[in-house]
Amino acid sequence: MNVRFPHKLQLFALATALALGLGTAHATDVTGAGSSFVYPVISKWSAAYAEKTGNHINYQSIGSGGGIAQIKAGTVDFGASDKPLDQATLAKFGLGQFPDVIGGIVPVLNVNGIPAGKLVLDGKTLAGIFLGKITRWNDPGIAALNPGMKLPDQKITVVHRSDGSGTTYNFTHYLSQVSPAWKSRAGVGTAVNWPAGIGGKGNEGVSAYVKQIRNSIGYVEYAYALQNHIGYAMMKNAAGNVVSPNTASFQAAAATADWKHARNFELLITNAPGTRAWPITATSWVIMYKQPRNLEHTRVVMDFFKWAYNHGQADARSLDYVPLPDSLVKQIEQYWQTQYKM
């Protein structure tokens, strides 16, 4: 009798320990959630980082809004968002934020007679199309930007995102900067009241609709345009130059953005001033508590991103993202030292 009881207790303790996952070998389990835009690259980094350090960075793409909500609720160790938090919110919750990666958004189209990658648009025209003001492909506004191109006399079908997304946020932010009409009619948001068109769920939905519907135009993240082989448009940027979307022009936008004066990195780099800058370039941010519940976890998150800034560049490029410029990485490391008393 005396022997049996402790034995049972031991078994129970062992079972509990197993159930709680205490028996496993790896070092630290850290959880992040948010933006689907950065999901591919963080997944790739996380696998490589786990191999190197044994620490598990479990990142789930539940949307930027979801990421912000979860970090506020303290159910995850870090959030990731394509839309920066404003100063008041950061201060109120004691949160800090810093960029993790940069990427581009491109207008994609499917029009008979317009070769892929040849059409030139500018901000005003793009806004006019998405406002439903420019309704035909041979509109004089489009023709003026494309002298010598034979434009079909066809009705434009606009395709936008139906789900709330950081991509839409950055896209509408760009349109609002270049078109007062867009700003007053639709505005900036992860979801807006679209003046025209049909909505596809996710980048995938928009890509599929643009491919299926003749004479349509939409916008997707750069990687989707490449993978789905959809024709994209070139853009006239803020400096007045026509640029193609590619990592070089995204990089140019990132480099010319004025990060130095952006408190808590609250800066959108759409319509960047650089001569070769792609105008619809987007950043994603990591959001963490400055005084976290679990110091150890926050330390691992920082170590992870430090590792990623230095060793994850090839992975980022292979997935069509742009790694952060060195000057920005230095600024982030300074930010950690001053803002996070670890």
Partner 1 sequence: MSSAIYTRRRITNAVAMVLSSIATVIGLVFLAWILWVTVSNGISALNLKLFTRITAYGADGGLSNAIVGSLGMDLLALLICAPIGVLAGTYLAEYAATSRLGATIRFLNDILLSAPSIVLGLFVYVIVVVPMSNVTHGAVSFSGVAGAIALALIGLPVIVRTTDEMLQLVPGSLREAALSLGIPQWKLTVQVLMRAATSGILTGVLLALARLAGETAPLLFTAFGNNFMTYSPLSKTASVPVAIYQYTNDPNPALHAIAWAGALLITLFVLALSLLTRLFFSRKKVSHD
Partner 2 sequence: MHAARTETPARDFETRARTDARHDRIFHGALKSCALLVLAALLGAALSMLWGGREVLFQHGFHFLTSSSWNPVTDDYGALAPVFGTLVTSLIALVLAVPLSFGIALFLTEIAPVWMRGPVGTAIELLAGIPSIIYGMWGLFIFVPFMARIEPALSSTLGQIPLIGKLFEGPPLGLGILTAGIVLAVMILPFISSVMREVFQTVPKRLKESAYALGSTTREVVWDIVLPYTRSAVIGGIFLGLGRALGETMAVTFVLGNSDNITSSLLMPGTSISSSIANEFNEAVGTHRSALIALGFLLFVVTFIVLLIARLMLRQLARREGN
Measured between alpha carbons, how far is 188 from 168 in angstroms, rounded to an integer? Answer: 8
Candidates 89, 45, 86, 38; CA nearest to 60 is 38
Contact between 198 and partner 2 per CB under 8 A = yes
Contact between 200 and partner 2 per CB under 8 A = yes
Contact between 95 and partner 2 per CB under 8 A = no
Contact between 99 and partner 2 per CB under 8 A = no
> What one-character DSSP code corresponds to residue 114?
S
Answer for which of 28, 31, 154, 244 binds partner 1 (CB under 8 A) is 31
Q: Minimum distance from CB of 208 to partner 1 (Å)?
A: 11
The neighbouring-strand residues paired with 199 are: 160
Contact between 171 and partner 2 per CB under 8 A = no
The neighbouring-strand residues paired with 30 are: 57
Q: Minimum distance from CB of 202 to partner 2 (Å)?
A: 9
Measured between alpha carbons, how far is 315 from 149 in angstroms, rounded to an integer? Answer: 38
Size of the site for partner 2 (CB under 8 A): 33
Provide the terminal-to-terminal Cα distance of the chain, rounded to the nearest Å.
Answer: 51
Answer for which of 20, 150, 338, 341 binds partner 1 (CB under 8 A) is 20
Per-position x/- string for 140-169, each x denoting binding to partner 2 as judged by CB under 8 A, each - no binding: -----------------x----xxxxx---
Answer for which of 28, 56, 276, 313 binds partner 1 (CB under 8 A) is 56
Q: Minimum distance from CB of 163 to partner 2 (Å)?
A: 4
Q: Which long-range contacts (CB under 8 A, 24 or more apart) does 253-261 make?
A: 253/102, 253/104, 253/277, 253/278, 253/279, 253/281, 254/102, 254/281, 254/283, 254/322, 254/324, 254/325, 254/328, 255/325, 259/327, 259/328, 259/331, 260/331
Q: Minimum distance from CB of 189 to partner 1 (Å)?
A: 20
Contact between 139 and partner 2 per CB under 8 A = no
Per-position x/- string for 204-243, each x denoting binding to partner 1 as judged by CB under 8 A, each - no binding: xx---------------x-xx-xxx---------------
- Beta-carbon contacts of residue 289 (< 8 Å; ≥ 6 apart): 71, 74, 93, 94, 95, 96, 298
Q: Would you state the structure tokens that stand for residue 228, as one six-digit string? A: 């789905």
Q: Would you state the structure tokens that stand for residue 215, as one six-digit string? A: 């004479």
Rounded to 5 degrees, what are φ and ψ at 60? -120, 135
Stretch that binds partner 2, among 42-50, 183-191, 241-249, 316-324 (CB under 8 A): 183-191
CB under 5 to 8 A by kind: which of partner 2, partner 1, none does 186 bind?
partner 2
Contact between 46 and partner 1 per CB under 8 A = yes
CB under 5 to 8 A by kind: which of partner 2, partner 1, none does 65 bind?
partner 2
Rounded to 5 degrees, what are φ and ψ at 292? -75, 160
Q: Would you state the structure tokens that stand for residue 194, as one six-digit string? A: 């679209």
> What one-character DSSP code corresponds to residue 322?
B
Chain positions contacting partner 2, by CB under 8 A: 62-66, 68-69, 157, 162-166, 186-194, 197-201, 204-205, 208-209, 212-213
Chain positions contacting partner 1, by CB under 8 A: 18-21, 29, 31, 33, 36, 39-40, 43-44, 46-47, 50, 56-62, 66, 73-76, 201-205, 221, 223-224, 226-228, 293-294
